[in-house]
Structures are given as C-alpha cells and as structure tokens.
Chain A
Amino acid sequence: MAQAEGGYYVPHGSNWPIIGSVGLTALVVGIALYLEGIGAGPYVLAAGVLITAWMVVGWFGDVVREGVKGLYSDQVDRSLRWGMIWFIFSEIMFFAAFFGALFYARALSVPWLSGEDPATSRLLWDSMVLSWPTAGPGMADLEWKPMGPWPLPTINTLILLTSGMTLTIAHHALKEGHRGKLIAYMWATVALGTIFIAFQSYEYYHAYVDLNLRLDTGIYGSTFFMLTGFHGMHVLIGTIMLLVITLRCMKGHFRPESHFGFEATAWYWHFVDVVWLGLYIFVYIL
C-alpha cells in the first residue's frame, strides 16, 4: 500500500453501500408489508434487519481497520468530523418536527378546540373545556393519568447528566493516557445508559398498566410516546455505540492525539443528553 504521508485517503470500491441499500429496502418493505397485514412482512423485515446489521458491522469494521492502520490523515479526520456534525444537525431537525407538533398542540390546536376560537369549538364540541394535558375532545370519557416528572423522569435526568460527566472524565483520561481510568469510566457510562433504558422501559410499562396512558391517548399520548420513544431509540443506539467504543478502548485503538471514533460517539451522546433536557422540561415539567 503506497501511503503518502498526510495524503487524502480515497477508498477504492466498497460492497457495503449496495448491501446497505438492499438491507434498508428489505427493512422498510418488510415493515410496510407487516403494517398492511401481508404474510411475508416479518420475514422480509427480519432479512432486512440482518442485512442492515451486517452492513453496519462490516462498514464500520472497514473504517476501524483503516483508522487503526493510520490511513486517515488530518484532512480525512476533518471530513469525518464535518460528517458527524451535520448528521447530528439532521437528527436535531428530526426531533424539531416532533417538538413543533407538541408546541403547536399546546399553544394553538388545544386552545382553539376548547373555545379560544369559537368558530371551531362551537361547531364541533360546544361547551368543551380543555386544558393540557389532554387526550382531546373525542376522548373526554377516557380514564387516564399523565406522566409526572417525579420520580422516574427526574432520576433518569440525573442519570443522563451523570453519564455525560463520566464520559467527559473518560475523554480526559484518554487524552492524558490514563488507560485504567478511561476504561472504568467508559463502563460506567455504558452502565448509566443501560440503566436509563431499563428505567424508561419500566416507565412505559407503568404508563400502560397503571396510568392507562397509551400511544393512542389523544395528542398527549401521541406527543409523549413519540418524543420519548424516538429519544429512547437514540439512547439505545448511543449505548451500543458507547459499548463498541469501550471495547475499542480496551483493545487500545485510540491514541491521546487521535481518537475521532471516541469523540463522534461522545458528541452523539451529548446530543441525546440535550434532547432529553428538552423533553424533561417541555414534556414532563411544563
């Protein structure tokens, strides 16, 4: 391999993108078939998940191997950084759509339905008074309770904030070359992420069983479960990323001056953290 020092690494041909296209297509077609009740759905979906997972493992494996070989110059490193930054920005905008739905419901559609705009409410649900949280005028007789901020969501907030701290401590340890400290704090971060997921699973169980709060409990249930659900999926992905990074730390893949894989994962984790703070304030407290 002719390696010009500091050159820009342009990989030559890769099978992973086309495998990823097939996998992603099978995955979404499988879900669509399942939703339409067509028998092959689950099998196509399973195939899609397996192929996509194979692609993710293989593609990232290639990148890790190239990185460890030292093929990535500073300039490649910067490309990867820009890539990750803009990917996270796209994720923020994805969440923005759901936050937008929440704000719209709370600031506009629910007040309008409850008489602030007489033309709407009088024609449809006269004399209905709504407040937040609500399942909407069509489910006025439904018995359910909203999810309060105490105790689990607040504990989960502390857990995520702590995980951000342990991750930062691990990062400093990596930069200062304290291998033992790095690995210990990485495992702590993974553990905190896992506990968060466990608590949130219990929270969902509690919502469905004790509070009768479900995905179809009107606009409150819709926004609550979609926002916290998508966030939970991101925590899951982030925890898997942290786990992989922890194992890579143990293998000694990272150097104090060069460890972009670590940093990208840390950025992602902080992003997940910040989104949670938004959720905690706007979904649970206010």
Chain B
Amino acid sequence: MTATTQDHAHHEAEPTGLKRWLVTTNHKDIGSMYLLFSLAMFLVGGAMALVIRAELFQPGLQVVDPYFFNQMTTMHALVMIFGAVMPAFTGLANWMIPLMVGAPDMALPRMNNWSFWLLPFGFAILLSTLFMPGGGPAGGWTMYPPLMLQTGTAFPFVIFAIHVLGISSIMGSINVIATILNMRAPGMTLMKMPLFVWTWLITAYLMIAVMPVLAGAITMLLTDQYFGTTFFSAAGGGDPVLYQHIFWFFGHPEVYILILPAFGIISTIIPTFARKPLFGYSSMVYATASIAFLSFIVWAHHMFTVGMPVAGVLFFMYATMLIAVPTGVKVFNWVATMWRGAMTFETPMLFALAFVFLFTIGGFSGLMLAIAPADFQYHDTYFVVAHFHYVLVTGAVFAILAAAYYWLPKWTGHMYNERLGQWHFWLSVIFVNVLFFPQHFLGLAGMPRRIPDYSVQFADWNMISSIGGFGFGFAQLIFVYLLWQCIRGGQKAEARAWEGAEGLEWEVPSPAPHHTFDTPPVIR
C-alpha cells in the first residue's frame, strides 16, 4: 500500500500561533478556519437582518434611513450567501471529504489554503464599503443595472470583492473535485461514496460552471460604468435584461450550490439516527444529478415579469416545475429511511427532521412561484422572501447546524451539551417559523420586498415576524456558547460517537488526529 509523503524537512519547525493558521496546508485546520469564519459571518449577516427586522417592526421609519435599509438588505444577502453558507459547506467538505473517502488530505493542499485566505480579504473589501462615501451597495444582492450603477465610491470595491470571493470558490471547488476523483481509497468506487461526497462533487461542478459567469456579468457592469461599454444600455443596442439573464444563469445554479450539500448532510444524519441504511442510495445520486442539470435551464423563472416572449415564459415554467420530481424523490427517500427505523432524537436528528418538514414547505412555495401567471402576483413580494428563507434558513442553515452537531464530537473529541443543543433546536425551530411563516401572508397580501416602510394593514404580521427574528437571532447565541464549551471540554467522545453512524470518518479516533489515512484504508 502506498504511504503519504509528508514534507519532513519542514516538519520539525512546524509553525505555531498565528503563523500556523496562515501557512497551514492541513485540511482539518483549513476546514476549522472555514467553519469559524462562516460562523462569524453568520453573526454579522444576522445582525444586519436584525436591523432590517427592527425597522420593519412597525410601519413608518424609526430606526434607520431608507438608504441604509437598502444597504442592509443587499449586504445581508451577500454576507449570508458568500460568507456564511458557502464557506460553511466548504469547511465541511474540507473536514469531512478526505475522512470520508480515506484520503490523507485534500488533493491540492496549498491551493486549499489560498481558497480560504482569500475569503477574509474579500470580505474586508466588501464590508469596508459600508463606510465609504455614499455607503455600501444598496441595489439588492442581484446588482441589477441601471440601479446598481448608481452606487457611490463602493461600486468597484463591491465588484472586485465578489471577484475575489468567486476565485476562492472556484479554487475550493477544483480542490473538492480533484480530491473526490483522485484521492479515494482503493475499493471506494463512485457508487460506494457517502452521499455527502456525491452531493459535493456535483456542487463543485456547478460552482466551477457558474462562478465565472457571475464574474463575466459583473465585469460587464464594471466596464459599462467606467469604460463606456453598453452591454446593459438600450441606447447602445444592449439591454438591462441581458444582465438579468446572465446573472440568473449563475444565480439559479447558485441556489442549488447552497442546498445540494445540505441534501448530502441530511442523507448522512437520518440513517444514523434511524439506524437504517439510506433508502434509495442510487436514486439519491441520480436525483442530485438531475437537479443539477435542471438548474441550468430554469434561470428565467426569476424574471417572469420582465417581459419575455411567452414561449420563453412557458419553457421556463415547465422546466422549473420538473425540478419537483427529483426533489420529491429525495424527500420520499428520507421519509422511507425513517420508516420503521429505531429512531432517537438527538440534536442533529432534530435539525435534520426540521429540515425535511420545513425545506419541503419552501419547496412547495417554490412550486407556487414557478407558475408564471401566479408569479406575476407574487413577484418581488414578501412571499418570495418567505420562500427562499424557508429553503435557505430552515434548509441550508439547519442542515449546517445539524452537521455541526453531528460531527462536533469528531472535530473536538468532546460530546456537546445535549441539553443546550435541544434548547437551541426548539427555540430556533419555533422562532424561525414565527419569523418567516407570516411573510407568506404578507406577500400574498401584496407587501413588496426591500422596502423599509409599509402600509398599515401589514403591521400585525410584520410585528410578529420581527419578534420571531429577534428570537431566532438570539437563540443562535446558545449555539455559540455551546460550541465554545464543546471545544474547551466535556464528555469524551468515542471514535464512533453515534451508535448508528456509518462511514470511514468514524473509524479514526475522536478528535481526529492531525494526519489521518496516511496509508489508505482498503474498502471492501
């Protein structure tokens, strides 16, 4: 069997302190940095959300001026998408994929370090725009022209910050793909890979395919602004709608980038706590691949009201509805996995169960939005906000929290405080519904999104939603405390921390040693 060559020349002088983290090539170190960075951004983006909910607590303008409100909606989205959810998934990929496939490290360890370290720099640029003359970007995270072109000094900084984040994502994804395709232990065939690895393989493909398209779109914004190109100006023969097409060609695969690894996590956790193998493994793989394929041909459902030819509207409507089929396969398989299982309800399982229920609600509201004639009414209302927060908060974020609880024993070597975990879960799941469910009603009643003030008939549900928002926000501090506690100490975790857990990551001790699988295991 082949062994791993560690670079022993530098081994004696392994750096400590800050330097260790700056130069590390270890997938566990880098994974931890990604996860902690993501948590920090989750709190920053969450604070922005609370500014929004504070302003919307009552009709009228109380807390912030409308322009700052718009900066908050824009930045909240950018921070949560590029700073919280994507790095969290990449952190999980870094930590878990080499352990799950029996690899000594990620395939390209130095590039792995660069992928991470570009993030703090990119976010330093992005967040600094809030303090620039004219404030941060305020045209929404989608950055539609011509509105986006009215951004002040911040404009080129936002564009370049997103370029830097995109470079980071592309390099991270290349690493994930190379690791999965090339670093699997002997005997680990593709169809024996854990589903988290499969979903990440497909996610990484999506990211490499669409992050460059976003880069192209925002580059055209930049040249339209400074160099007189007219991509998005009708006077020059271009079209502002062109931007929307290019953006959403990125944007729709992007939302699956934000959810497919979550599917992988849920498909890992439910079998563990149902003590049954995953139902329909291969159909899960094919469903994931189908969703990824469909994600490339549905983008214009984000722009039904823009004035497209009716044939286009119909195509995008039907293609979008088709996504319900593979997604339904997944939900069916999760439920079937639990059918007659010996279930227990530790915190990761609770979050996973909440995911199945609440993500499905988000899926159904997505189906409603896919119906073009109905979307003419729902477009740009709070119904859309409710929809994508159900899939992203109770979907992606809940899955990330479930993953954190599930693998914390492996990362820290300690069991987390189950009692606090249960408090965190129940407060989160109650408040998140208080927060987002009323937004469905607000949207159906016609309340527009991204507006700091509203008509008085929306007052009650907005107040309730804001109460839910603050409750959900502060409930997350329990998690921060629990995490701190778990890193410092606690009940010692066994190698196989969960009774029903399967997979190579449970074959190594807890906490996982700095180097694992220097000699690849053999999978029968």
Chain A interfacial positions (CB closer than 8 Å to B): 1-4, 6-18, 20-22, 24-25, 28-29, 31-32, 35-36, 38, 59, 71, 73, 75, 78-80, 82-83, 86-87, 89-91, 93-98, 100-101, 104-105, 108-110, 112-113, 120, 124, 130, 134-139, 214-216, 218-223, 225-226
Within residues 155 to 199 of chain B, which ones have a CB less than 8 A from any CB in chain A? 155-157, 159-161, 163-164, 167, 170, 173-175, 177-179, 181-183
Write out the residue numbers on chain B whose beta carbons fall within 8 Å of the beta carbon of A9: 4-5, 7
Q: Which of the 9-residue segments B114-122, B393-401, B450-458, B498-506 touches chain A?
A: B114-122
Given contacts A79-B107, A90-B170, A216-B229, 6 further A-B contacts (CB under 8 A): A1-B7, A10-B4, A14-B113, A71-B5, A215-B228, A219-B238
Write out the residue numbers on chain B whose beta carbons fall within 8 Å of the beta carbon of A93: 208-210, 212-213
Give Cα A84 to B159, complex, Å.
Answer: 26
Say yes or no: B236 contacts A218, CB within 8 Å: yes
Say yes or no: A79 contacts B234, CB within 8 Å: no
User: Which of A1, A82, A100, A120 gathers most chain B CB within 10 Å?
Assistant: A82
Say yes or no: B245 contacts A100, CB within 8 Å: yes
Given contacts A82-B182, A136-B236, A137-B235, contact A11 B212 (CB under 8 A): no
Say yes or no: A137 contacts B8, CB within 8 Å: no
| Min C-beta distance of B10 to chain A, whole Å | 4
Given contacts A136-B230, A136-B234, contact A13 B23 (CB under 8 A): yes
**B277 contacts the other chain (Cβ, under 8 Å)?**
no
**B463 contacts the other chain (Cβ, under 8 Å)?**
no
| Min C-beta distance of B158 to chain A, whole Å | 9
**B239 contacts the other chain (Cβ, under 8 Å)?**
yes
Write out the residue numbers on chain A whose beta carbons fall within 8 Å of the beta carbon of B104: 8, 10
Given contacts A12-B10, A90-B211, contact A79 B182 (CB under 8 A): yes
Write out the residue numbers on chain B whose beta carbons fall within 8 Å of the beta carbon of A138: 230, 233-236
Give which listed residue, A10, A31, A90, A134, contacts B212 with CB less than 8 A.
A90
Say yes or no: A12 contacts B156, CB within 8 Å: no
Residue in chain A with minimal CB distance to B168: A21
| Min C-beta distance of A68 to chain B, whole Å | 15
Say yes or no: A14 contacts B23, CB within 8 Å: yes
Give Cα A74 to B9, complex, Å.
Answer: 22
Say yes or no: B249 contacts A100, CB within 8 Å: yes
Given contacts A1-B8, A29-B160, A90-B170, contact A21 B246 (CB under 8 A): no
| Min C-beta distance of A91 to chain B, whole Å | 7
Write out the residue numbers on chain B whose beta carbons fall within 8 Å of the beta carbon of A25: 121-122, 124-125, 164
Give Cα A9 to B109, complex, Å.
Answer: 10
Given contacts A9-B7, A10-B25, A219-B231, contact A105 B223 (CB under 8 A): no
Give Cα A127 to B242, complex, Å.
Answer: 23
Given contacts A87-B174, A138-B236, A219-B236, contact A226 B14 (CB under 8 A): no
Give Cα A11 to B9, complex, Å.
Answer: 10
Residue in chain B with minimal CB distance to A214: B228
Say yes or no: A86 contacts B178, CB within 8 Å: yes
Write out the residue numbers on chain B whose beta carbons fall within 8 Å of the beta carbon of A221: 229
Residue in chain A with minimal CB distance to B113: A17
Say yes or no: B228 contacts A18, CB within 8 Å: no
Secondary structure type dominating chain B contacts: helix
The 6 lowest CB-CB distance pairs between A and B, nearest first, are A97-B216, A138-B235, A216-B228, A136-B237, A219-B237, A17-B114
Given contacts A10-B25, A12-B6, A13-B10, contact A36 B153 (CB under 8 A): yes
Write out the residue numbers on chain A whose beta carbons fall within 8 Å of the beta carbon of B121: 21-22, 24-25
Write out the residue numbers on chain B whose beta carbons fall within 8 Å of the beta carbon of A75: 2, 182-183
Write out the residue numbers on chain B whose beta carbons fall within 8 Å of the beta carbon of A10: 4-7, 25, 104-105, 109
| Min C-beta distance of B149 to chain A, whole Å | 13
Write out the residue numbers on chain B whose beta carbons fall within 8 Å of the beta carbon of A1: 7-9
Give Cα A127 to B498, complex, Å.
Answer: 73
**B220 contacts the other chain (Cβ, under 8 Å)?**
yes
Give Cα A41 to B105, complex, Å.
Answer: 40
Write out the residue numbers on chain A whose beta carbons fall within 8 Å of the beta carbon of B105: 8, 10
26 contacts between A and B (CB under 8 A): A1-B9, A7-B3, A8-B5, A9-B7, A10-B5, A13-B15, A13-B25, A21-B118, A31-B160, A35-B226, A75-B183, A79-B182, A82-B181, A96-B212, A97-B215, A97-B216, A100-B246, A109-B237, A110-B237, A136-B237, A138-B230, A138-B235, A215-B228, A218-B237, A222-B230, A226-B223
Residue in chain A with minimal CB distance to B239: A109
Residue in chain A with minimal CB distance to B129: A32
**B11 contacts the other chain (Cβ, under 8 Å)?**
yes
Given contacts A24-B121, A32-B160, A93-B213, contact A14 B25 (CB under 8 A): yes
**B217 contacts the other chain (Cβ, under 8 Å)?**
yes
Say yes or no: B25 contacts A11, CB within 8 Å: yes
Write out the residue numbers on chain A whose beta carbons fall within 8 Å of the beta carbon of B173: 86
Give Cα A222 to B222, complex, Å.
Answer: 12
Give which listed residue, A4, A20, A35, A113, contacts B114 with CB less than 8 A.
A20
Write out the residue numbers on chain B whose beta carbons fall within 8 Å of the beta carbon of A18: 22-23, 113, 117
Contact with A along B112-148 (1 / 0, CB 8 A): 0110011011101100000000000000000000000
Say yes or no: B209 contacts A89, CB within 8 Å: yes
**B24 contacts the other chain (Cβ, under 8 Å)?**
yes
Write out the residue numbers on chain A whose beta carbons fall within 8 Å of the beta carbon of B241: 109
Say yes or no: A105 contacts B237, CB within 8 Å: yes
Given contacts A71-B5, A226-B229, contact A78 B237 (CB under 8 A): no
Contact with A along B447-483 (1 / 0, CB 8 A): 0000000000000000000000000000000000000
Contact with A along B1-39 (1 / 0, CB 8 A): 011111111110011000010111100000000000000
User: Which of B108, B155, B211 gathers most chain A CB within 10 Å?
Assistant: B108
User: Which of B14, B15, B160 gathers most chain A CB within 10 Å?
Assistant: B160
Say yes or no: A16 contacts B110, CB within 8 Å: yes
| Min C-beta distance of A37 to chain B, whole Å | 9
Give Cα A132 to B45, complex, Å.
Answer: 46
Say yes or no: A139 contacts B235, CB within 8 Å: yes
Write out the residue numbers on chain A whose beta carbons fall within 8 Å of the beta carbon of B177: 82, 86
User: Which of B107, B124, B125, B173 gathers most chain A CB within 10 Å?
Assistant: B107
Give Cα A35 to B208, complex, Å.
Answer: 29
User: Which of A24, A59, A112 gathers most chain B CB within 10 Å?
Assistant: A24
Give Cα A241 to B488, complex, Å.
Answer: 49
Write out the residue numbers on chain A whose beta carbons fall within 8 Å of the beta carbon of B124: 25
Write out the residue numbers on chain B whose beta carbons fall within 8 Å of the beta carbon of A218: 230, 236-238
| Min C-beta distance of A156 to chain B, whole Å | 23
Say yes or no: B156 contacts A11, CB within 8 Å: no
Give Cα A38 to B178, complex, Å.
Answer: 42
Within residues 88 to 121 of chain B, which ones have a CB less than 8 A from any CB in chain A? 104-105, 107-111, 113-114, 117-118, 120-121
Write out the residue numbers on chain A whose beta carbons fall within 8 Å of the beta carbon of B220: 97-98, 101, 222, 226
Say yes or no: A35 contacts B5, CB within 8 Å: no
Contact with A along B251-294 (1 / 0, CB 8 A): 00000000000000000000000000000000000000000000
Give Cα A120 to B309, complex, Å.
Answer: 13
Say yes or no: A130 contacts B237, CB within 8 Å: yes
Say yes or no: B118 contacts A104, CB within 8 Å: no
Residue in chain B with minimal CB distance to A28: B160
Say yes or no: A31 contacts B209, CB within 8 Å: no
